[in-house]
Amino acid sequence: GNSVTQMEGPVTLSEEAFLTINCTYTATGYPSLFWYVQYPGEGLQLLLKATKADDKGSNKGFEATYRKETTSFHLEKGSVQVSDSAVYFCALDGHYTGANSKLTFGKGITLSVRP
Protein backbone atom coordinates (compact mmCIF):
# COMPACT_ATOMS: atom_id res chain seq x y z
CA GLY A 1 0.00 0.00 0.00
CA ASN A 2 0.89 3.66 -0.01
CA SER A 3 3.22 5.04 2.64
CA VAL A 4 5.06 8.25 3.48
CA THR A 5 8.26 8.43 5.50
CA GLN A 6 9.46 11.64 7.08
CA MET A 7 12.74 12.31 8.81
CA GLU A 8 12.75 11.99 12.59
CA GLY A 9 12.28 15.09 14.65
CA PRO A 10 12.01 17.42 16.40
CA VAL A 11 14.05 20.03 14.59
CA THR A 12 15.25 23.21 16.27
CA LEU A 13 16.75 26.02 14.21
CA SER A 14 17.79 29.59 14.76
CA GLU A 15 15.92 32.32 12.93
CA GLU A 16 17.15 32.84 9.34
CA ALA A 17 18.63 29.33 9.16
CA PHE A 18 18.09 27.10 6.14
CA LEU A 19 15.47 24.38 6.51
CA THR A 20 15.25 20.97 4.89
CA ILE A 21 12.69 18.37 5.93
CA ASN A 22 13.04 15.06 4.13
CA CYS A 23 10.07 13.11 2.81
CA THR A 24 10.03 9.93 0.74
CA TYR A 25 7.07 7.94 -0.41
CA THR A 26 6.00 4.54 -1.67
CA ALA A 27 3.14 4.33 -4.11
CA THR A 28 2.32 2.78 -7.42
CA GLY A 29 1.31 5.00 -10.24
CA TYR A 30 1.47 8.76 -10.04
CA PRO A 31 0.31 10.17 -6.70
CA SER A 32 -0.08 13.83 -5.90
CA LEU A 33 2.17 15.05 -3.09
CA PHE A 34 1.46 17.62 -0.40
CA TRP A 35 2.96 19.39 2.55
CA TYR A 36 0.57 20.37 5.32
CA VAL A 37 1.36 22.50 8.36
CA GLN A 38 -0.35 22.37 11.75
CA TYR A 39 -0.01 25.24 14.18
CA PRO A 40 -0.67 24.60 17.89
CA GLY A 41 -4.34 24.01 18.60
CA GLU A 42 -5.35 24.19 14.96
CA GLY A 43 -6.23 21.88 12.10
CA LEU A 44 -4.07 21.27 9.06
CA GLN A 45 -3.36 23.89 6.45
CA LEU A 46 -2.18 23.04 2.97
CA LEU A 47 1.26 24.55 2.51
CA LEU A 48 2.06 23.42 -1.03
CA LYS A 49 1.44 20.64 -3.49
CA ALA A 50 2.75 19.00 -6.66
CA THR A 51 0.71 16.80 -8.91
CA LYS A 52 3.27 15.35 -11.31
CA ALA A 53 6.95 14.51 -11.57
CA ASP A 54 9.36 17.49 -11.63
CA ASP A 55 6.63 19.87 -10.48
CA LYS A 56 7.77 22.36 -7.86
CA GLY A 57 5.27 23.50 -5.27
CA SER A 58 5.95 26.76 -3.48
CA ASN A 59 4.25 28.99 -0.93
CA LYS A 60 5.34 31.48 1.75
CA GLY A 61 9.02 30.91 0.91
CA PHE A 62 8.71 27.11 1.20
CA GLU A 63 9.48 24.89 -1.79
CA ALA A 64 9.35 21.20 -2.60
CA THR A 65 10.05 19.37 -5.87
CA TYR A 66 8.35 16.12 -6.87
CA ARG A 67 11.23 13.74 -7.67
CA LYS A 68 9.87 10.51 -9.09
CA GLU A 69 13.31 8.97 -9.62
CA THR A 70 14.09 9.23 -5.91
CA THR A 71 10.44 9.07 -4.75
CA SER A 72 11.01 12.17 -2.68
CA PHE A 73 9.34 15.49 -1.91
CA HIS A 74 11.70 17.30 0.44
CA LEU A 75 10.57 20.61 1.94
CA GLU A 76 12.99 23.55 1.94
CA LYS A 77 13.03 27.16 3.05
CA GLY A 78 15.95 29.48 2.72
CA SER A 79 15.41 31.52 5.87
CA VAL A 80 13.04 30.36 8.60
CA GLN A 81 11.19 32.67 10.96
CA VAL A 82 9.91 32.16 14.48
CA SER A 83 6.39 32.13 13.03
CA ASP A 84 7.27 28.98 11.05
CA SER A 85 7.32 26.97 14.29
CA ALA A 86 4.72 24.24 13.74
CA VAL A 87 4.30 20.58 12.87
CA TYR A 88 4.86 19.70 9.20
CA PHE A 89 3.27 16.72 7.50
CA CYS A 90 4.14 15.22 4.15
CA ALA A 91 1.22 13.46 2.45
CA LEU A 92 0.19 11.77 -0.75
CA ASP A 93 -3.13 11.32 -2.47
CA GLY A 94 -3.33 7.95 -4.08
CA HIS A 95 -6.29 8.70 -6.28
CA TYR A 96 -4.62 7.71 -9.49
CA THR A 97 -2.92 4.69 -7.98
CA GLY A 98 -6.26 3.07 -7.40
CA ALA A 99 -6.33 3.90 -3.72
CA ASN A 100 -9.20 6.32 -4.20
CA SER A 101 -9.27 9.83 -2.93
CA LYS A 102 -7.68 9.79 0.51
CA LEU A 103 -4.55 11.25 2.01
CA THR A 104 -1.78 9.12 3.45
CA PHE A 105 0.34 11.11 5.91
CA GLY A 106 3.81 10.85 7.28
CA LYS A 107 4.25 10.99 11.05
CA GLY A 108 4.95 14.71 11.04
CA ILE A 109 7.91 16.64 12.32
CA THR A 110 7.93 19.44 14.86
CA LEU A 111 9.91 22.51 13.88
CA SER A 112 10.91 25.03 16.52
CA VAL A 113 12.58 28.25 15.46
CA ARG A 114 14.32 30.28 18.15
CA PRO A 115 14.92 34.04 17.84
Partner 1 sequence: KAGVTQTPRYLIKTRGQQVTLSCSPISGHRSVSWYQQTPGQGLQFLFEYFSETQRNKGNFPGRFSGRQFSNSRSEMNVSTLELGDSALYLCASSLQRGLYEQYFGPGTRLTVT
60 binds partner 1 (CB under 8 A): no
Scanning 11-19, 57-65, 77-85, 91-99 for contacts with partner 1 by CB under 8 A, the matching segment is: 91-99
CA 93 vs. chain centroid, Å, equals 13
Which CB atom, from 36 or from 80, has the smaller least distance to partner 1? 36
> What are the backbone angles phi and psi of residue 106, rounded to the nearest 5°?
-80, 175
- Residue 57 CA to residue 35 CA, distance in Å, equals 9
- For partner 1, the closer CB: 62 or 108: 108
Candidate residues 24, 68, 105, 112; the one interacting with partner 1 per rule CB under 8 A: 105
Q: In angstroms, rounded to a whole number, what is the distance separating the alpha carbons of residues 72 and 60?
A: 21
